[in-house]
Amino acid sequence: MRLLLFLAFLVVPVLEIWVLIQVGEVIGGPLTVALLIAGGLLGSWLVRREGRRAWRDLQAALQGGRMPDRELADGAMIVAGGTLLLTPGFISDIAGFLLVLPVTRPLMRRLGAWFFARRLRALAARAAADPGLGAAFGPMGAGSPFDPFEAAARGRTGGRGPVIHGEVVRDEPAGPAARDSGRDLPAG
């Protein structure tokens, strides 16, 4: 995942600049800028149109009482594609059009589903190998800071040392009224 982020934030912008220079050398600077502006305008129009369609489909699915999984995925892809289309560059425009166009969106949806299923399988395999991996406050189990308490609650020793059984003594406030307020008094 870190490699993917590295590629996204370092390599892709450098590649975008290189492609812009190459296209600019072939067709000229003003035409390259005009092409980028035209791609942005076409992309914003397409995102608006497809966004409205996705919104209608989402509402229809909800009113029909079915889970709108396809509609939510389409909406997310349209938002991501719109972001890529508004980013200057030809590579991001190609990726944005692939996410926004209704012809290519089903393919991209299947590709995204495959990617996320693969990631979930990998996370499930890691969680099965290390049961405390997904704990909210760090690893649980033997050797964790919470294990001595679990061991004491189950009546077995373990963790960092012996379990010392004791008694909790509550200090009560002074005075006869305060002392007697928590006790059952004889009726009489």
- The residues spanned by each domain of the chain are 12-103, 106-159
pTM to 2 decimal places: 0.62
CA–CA separation, 104 vs 107, rounded Å?
A: 5
* Other CB atoms within 10 Å distance of the CB of residue 84: 20
User: Which residues are registered as beta bridge partners of 161?
Assistant: 158
Residue 48: what pLDDT? 94
Q: What is the pLDDT of residue 87?
A: 87
99 has a pLDDT exceeding 90: yes
